[in-house]
A and B are shown apart, each in its own frame.
Chain A
């Protein structure tokens, strides 16, 4: 069950079930079946009774996220404050979803125990939430991608031995913002590179620089976070962009993010090509280790995180 503050729940017909605690600490029971109209007066009554939290069942996470996206993105009459609250909850749920289903491995269960706390901290950071909100308004696909990449970065960093929570949070925030420069690229309808105008292509290629330029003026982000944004398309062999930096000139967090970024991009559905299977994607990472990716980090991702042995001779 995902807890949602009552004041973040929209008064409308919802496409997910809602649960509540009849008594404090009791197991949540059904409050409203999906599509049953929910009115502002109902929510106010709950608050008057001291019920501050409603719950959405885990199976309805997707539906919840979808409806909340619509709620915040499409209704211009919603006040900024309310949009903000809603996004915060959606964010937590997306994060939670990204962690789920991977609990079988030891590492995954460790991380999923950290997930709610991490998600909470990230959502608490007003600035990150605001930036993510504008990204979500621009393109919810990029937003989902960023959240997933952040999760992969955390998993990979933990597998590499990063244990400090503050450091993990810092990395997660950087990763959440890694594609923030894309929010200025108008891609309306065109997802295929070949369908883009030259100007769009140039803008897209410049997104690490644009993102860096924007965040560096904020005085809120650390250099390591800025390097995640600026260097996540650099390659170990110097063939990346924007600078063509090599090996250790690329910040370790950017090297982590590069793998997480490509892995999520090639395994997720988009208009350009069909998603690769995990097995195929791991082969891509393996083949590109030492060229696109840091060899050690790629090895850790494949063998420690996904328990895959290399098909290549080293």
Chain B
């Protein structure tokens, strides 16, 4: 069993607190992504779990036992660094073998394990090369190999793909996911890229300014973001967010220009709220049934779909339309809203639930 728990983890650099008490429960064999904008404390948290950084308060548990006093070596973890951190003076074979040598593994066993790891990562032909003679993708695979040559309880990844080009990044996403399944290990994966988090993780932890904002399955975060921050962070293109207020009955949303939308649901009446609608939940609609009228400003064809940006009385709006949409810049168009999928946030940015009259 290798579940990972953090209890009220705090971290201070000097007088600045960068983690404000992180409570996490990561199940055995789970793949959890820590996601958040740059500087929110993801790496710091991961490094505290690894034992590379001391925490200022709280406790880290692996397999139910506290590891706060253990060195990285004794925590039975492996880590893949963003910079790969390969040993520049050792060839690929020795890079992979180093961890086994440090743990006094018998020679024959080292060779078997190194070759198996190299095989799994298509590195067999490069075992004699120095890291400097490898491409970025190959270096990345060596960094992965160094982690999986030994079977650790927990894999830690710190933005392992961010130095790769887009195509390789997509390939490696599936690759890492596959390795995670083959190895039956617990994985914690740090990334600032919400697409990586959405596609790879069983569960996502959203961090913002040193606090956990929301924890949930990818689609839970997508369908019910807990705050406006999560709403705008998860999903691409971004959710459309409008500021306005609810009428006394809580059934209509008004903006300062005077326009309003019927919500088809009841919220508790709030003076100042944010309405969110995903581009997927909007549809261009020329008929009278349209909810909002606007003028098309930009049309982006991405191939599989078309993104249409419309200026409306509520503000600029992004609509995800089918491929080969006939929308033309300058056209006046109607936009239809899927009322089942509206998101409402109160003045402090917290999600409001509908129904409570």
Q: Do A and B originate from a single complex?
A: no
Task: Give residues in A with beta carbon < 8 Å to B.
Answer: none
Binding site for A on B (CB under 8 A): none
